[in-house]
Amino acid sequence: MSVSNNARRKGGWGLAALATVATGAVLVLSGGGSAVADRLESPSAASKIEAVQAPQKQAYAVLERPQQAGDALGTTRVGPFGTNLQLARSVETSEGDVHVVPGDDVVCLRAEDEVGHGYACGPTDVVEDGVLMIALHDQSDDSVTVYGLVPDDAGDVELTTPDGTETLDVADNVFSAELDSSVGASVQTEGTTGTYPVP
């Protein structure tokens, strides 16, 4: 009887142990390593890169060229997704300067507006196959300033709005435009498929 009890007890604790360890594992997965948690932590969790990464240089001539005066941004703090602001490249456009900032398998555009600055970022392997855009919206008149990053092989860049289509100048992998509104505006490139809505 006692043996039987002990056997049951042992088996019961074994199951309990397994169940509890499994519960612990579920908690770990849901709390410490789930996709949602990773996404939530990812912009600030990445370590700052120390050099422009090879795929970034291969896709963007602007990130391969030597840095010039005015390229590096004046802070040593890490930006989103491990971006190193000291490795940035400044590009002069008709709508103002914008920075291309490399991160940890991420490429960002950083632009300044009237109240500060902002970023738009994407994974390098996604960005190099398409277009990354950052749009600065001025709510006083609903106008939009948009900057876009395209890879070396992008070819012509066309902007389509309700008013028509125009070819944009591209320099140092970057184009820019001033729009009355982003509604109905999109970009297409010669070297990529798809249409990219202006954000």
Partner 1 sequence: MRHHVASHAAGGGGWSLRRLAVLGAALGVLLFSGGMATQAQAGNTMYCDQQVAVGDFCYGTSQYLTGNEAFNYFGNSFPVCAGANGYGSYICGSLGYAKHCYAASVNIQPGIYNNYTLTQHMYGWSYWGSDPCP
Which residues make up the interface to partner 1 (CB under 8 A)? Answer: 2-3, 6-7, 9-10, 13-14, 16-17, 19-28, 30-33, 37, 39-45, 75, 77-80, 85, 111, 113-123, 126-127, 130-140, 182, 196-199
Contacts for 136 with CB less than 8 Å, ≥ 6 apart: 111, 113, 118, 144, 145, 146
Closest CB to partner 1 among residues 46, 91: 46
Determine the Cα angle at 131 with ends 178 and 142, to 5°.
Answer: 25
**Measured from the CB of residue 15, what is the shortest distance to partner 1 in angstroms?**
9
Burial of 58 (0-12, 13-18, 19+ CB in 10 A): middle
CA gap 103, 112 in Å, rounded? 19
- Please report how close the Cβ of residue 75 comes to partner 1 at its closest, in angstroms: 6
Least Å from the CB of residue 181 to partner 1: 12
Q: Which is closer to partner 1, CB of 52 or CB of 147?
A: 147
d(C-alpha 54, C-alpha 124), whole Å: 11
Which residue, 7 or 61, is less far from partner 1 as judged by CB?
A: 7
